[in-house]
């Protein structure tokens, strides 16, 4: 296993287990590797206390009982997995043939594989090995979004700005976009810079706009958020870890150069250019406050704009299915 989890992550695992969530769902909700969750669940069950009793314990009391040592790694820091791959390799060719049959998916093949090999690869690694055999770049997955589960955030590539009333200088502003994938309910705010404190400020304002905190927040792989990128367990900045604990939410990061990981916010940025940026293109503002006020007005129009292909709008779906009471 990678380095030990932080206590708020362990507590989240306990809470999800208490709710009866399966390991696969925990992986999706927390972004923590499957084997890491499995090892912590073994420790949790081995203590012999109820979930409620564990959650009532202090961090100091839980750490000695739940600390999980790192698993064996090779000199290059990679997890030793020779046995697992030896089990999977003979199956790759049959799997490639099965995929050509109607209705057969990678998810189905992986579930059948795990029935035979309960300690085998997780879904992501399974797909990586299968796609390497197929000489494809990555696994194509269909993501089904659950109400209130996740907020996706990214900085838009294009900037907005205002004219300094005293100097006449045009001041460029970053724009942080947030979207709830289930409803496409969108938020946008202009920031003074890309600095970490500004990005966190934008996130806090987004949470206020939502009126609640989603279970998880998936960020683009930006340096203000991710200290060290990793496909399975990225390391986040200390400030973002603090924010995560404060709001009792799980932070996640999209994989580098994997736009499907954050497809909703990628689409939201594109819509922002059309529905937020374009209406403001000929207007002149003299402060970031004026700019954000105008941005907010266009944002309200966007979230109240009726869908073309289904009833309602972003706001009505969000308030009906996602917003906290």
Same domain assignment for residues 313 and 201: yes
Residue 145 lies in a domain: no
Residue 152 sits at φ, ψ, to 5 deg, of -110, 135
Q: Which domain holds residue 58?
A: 7-66
Asked if residue 203 belongs to a domain, the reply is yes
Structure tokens at 63: 């750490």
| CATH code of residue 166 | 3.30.420.10
pTM (2 decimals)? 0.56
Q: Does one domain contain both 169 and 42?
A: no
CA angle 260/34/248 to nearest 5° reads 75
Check residues 177 and 55 and name the one with the higher pLDDT. 177
Q: Are residues 45 and 92 in the same domain?
A: no
Is 161 inside any structural domain?
yes
Does one domain contain both 165 and 292?
yes
At 46 the pLDDT is: 67
Do 167 and 315 have their domain in common?
yes
> Is there a contact between 232 and 27 (Cβ–Cβ < 8 Å)?
no
- Burial category of 319 from C-beta neighbours within 10 Å (exposed 0-12, middle 13-18, buried 19 and up): middle
Q: How far apart are CA 281 and CA 295, in angstroms?
A: 11
Q: Is the same domain home to 180 and 316?
A: yes
Let me know if residue 139 belongs to a domain.
no
DSSP string, 246-290: HHT-EEEEPPTT-GGGGHHHHHHHHHHIIIIIGGGTT---SSHHH
**What's the structural domain count of the chain?**
3
For range 9-28, the mean pLDDT: 86
Tokens of 302: 């966007």
Helical (H) or strand (E) element with 147: none
Both 166 and 128 in a single domain? no
Q: Encode pLDDT of 272-321 as tens digits.
A: 999 999 999 889 999 999 999 999 999 999 999 998 877 889 999 888 87
Q: Could you read off the pLDDT of 29-81 as tens digits, one per residue? A: 888 888 888 888 887 776 667 788 778 877 766 665 565 433 334 444 444 45
Residues 6+ apart with CB under 8 A from 157: 269
CA-to-CA separations, 243 to 26, 248, 254, 302, in angstroms, rounded: 21, 8, 18, 28
Whether 113 and 189 share a structural domain: no
**Residues 261 and 312 both lie in one domain:** yes
Do 49 and 96 lie in one domain? The reply is: no
142 located within any domain:
no
The answer on 87 and 62 residing in a single domain is no
């Amino acid at each position: 296993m990678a380095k030990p989890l932080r206590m708020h992550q362990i507590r989240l695992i306990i809470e999800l287990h208490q709710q009866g969530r399966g390991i696969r769902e925990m992986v999706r909700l927390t972004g923590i590797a499957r084997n890491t969750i499995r090892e912590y669940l073994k420790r949790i069950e081995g203590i012999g206390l109820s979930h409620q009793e564990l959650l009532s314990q202090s961090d100091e009391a839980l750490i000695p009982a739940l600390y999980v040592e790192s698993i064996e790694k090779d000199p290059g820091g990679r997890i030793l997995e020779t046995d697992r791959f030896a089990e999977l390799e003979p199956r790759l060719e049959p799997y490639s043939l099965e995929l050509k049959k109607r209705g057969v998916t990678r998810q189905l093949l992986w579930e059948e594989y795990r029935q035979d090999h309960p300690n085998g690869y997780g879904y992501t690694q399974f797909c990586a090995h299968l796609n390497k055999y197929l000489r494809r770049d990555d696994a194509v997955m269909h993501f089904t979004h659950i109400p209130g589960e996740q907020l996706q955030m990214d900085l838009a590539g294009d900037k907005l700005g205002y004219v300094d009333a005293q100097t006449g200088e045009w001041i460029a502003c970053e724009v942080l976009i947030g979207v709830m994938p289930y409803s496409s309910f969108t938020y946008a705010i202009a920031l003074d810079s890309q600095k970490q404190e500004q990005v966190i400020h934008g996130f806090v304002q987004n949470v206020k706009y939502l009126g609640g905190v989603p279970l998880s927040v998936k960020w683009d792989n930006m340096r203000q958020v991710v200290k060290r990128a990793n496909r399975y367990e990225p390391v986040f900045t200390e400030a973002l870890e603090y924010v995560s604990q404060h709001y009792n939410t799980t932070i996640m990061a999209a994989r580098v150069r994997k736009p499907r990981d954050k497809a909703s916010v990628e689409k939201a940025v594109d819509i922002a250019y059309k529905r937020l940026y374009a209406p403001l293109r000929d207007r002149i503002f003299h402060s970031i406050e004026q700019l954000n006020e105008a941005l907010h007005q266009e944002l309200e129009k966007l979230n109240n704009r009726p869908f073309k292909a289904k009833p309602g709008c972003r706001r009505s779906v969000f308030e009906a299915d996602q917003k906290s009471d």
